[in-house]
Structure 1
Amino acid sequence: MGSRSRALAGWLLVGVVAGCTWVELKPQGEKVRQLTPAEVGRCKLLGHITSNTAASIAFITRPKSSVREEVNRLARNNAGDMGGDTIVPTGPLVDGEQSFNVYRCINP
């Protein structure tokens, strides 16, 4: 394989990897849902978290849907670790980072 072919294969690999989601949803994160502020009025606020992941890899911007899914999975996992069952975004996703409030809505 020539150097040109290796370079092309390397860039193709980076492109494929940039679109992948690497965060696994833990069992406690599977039980966490995302709601809106209007839906958590009777819930107990447990705290705040910020989740972040790489928005680009090797100068390749990752698809926003992959970044959003990864940040959401991280938030759900962290909320589950805190004993929460609900997350509510407190701001937009910016450069692979988003903040959430964590609530317990079932048996608050």
Structure 2
Amino acid sequence: MSACTWVQLSPEAAEVYLRTTSQVSECDRVGTANVNALSQIGFIDRSAARLQDELVDLAKNEAARLGGDSVVPESTIDDGKQTFGVFLCGR
């Protein structure tokens, strides 16, 4: 079960990149992705790495929907929630 993921990356989101703030300094901001995933299942806490991966994939899906090609984390994970900036950089 450790290899399971709950989030499926859309085909369009496969072209969206996780970047840093400095990498998007010349890009156009197109929106914000407020995403959330389960931080625990039942009484079992999920691994931080798996949770972060799922939040990034959710943000990429939202970025593709908004017409962006890049996401940048703008908050830390809090109770399974995280905010990402969505940018259009032209790759």
TM-score w.r.t. the length of structure 1 is 0.78
| Structure number with higher strand proportion | 2
Q: Point out where structure 1 has 5 or more consecutive residues left out of the alignment.
A: 1-15
| Structure number with higher helix proportion | 1
Aligned mates of 1:64, 1:95 — CA distance in 2: 11
Number of the residue aligned with 1:66:
50
After superposing on structure 2, the runs of 4+ consecutive aligned residues of structure 1 that deviate more than 3 Å are none
Matching of residue 88 in structure 1 with residue 67 in structure 2: no
Matching of residue 37 in structure 1 with residue 21 in structure 2: yes
Q: Residue 21 of structure 1 contacts residue 69 of structure 1 at CA under 8 Å; is this kept in 2?
A: no
Q: Say which one has the larger Rg.
A: 1
How far is 1:20 from its partner? Answer: 3.1
Aligned mates of 1:30, 1:63 — CA distance in 2: 23
How far is 1:42 from its partner? Answer: 1.1
- Of structures 1 and 2, the one scoring higher in RCO (CA 8 A, sep 6+) is 2
Identity of aligned residues (%): 35
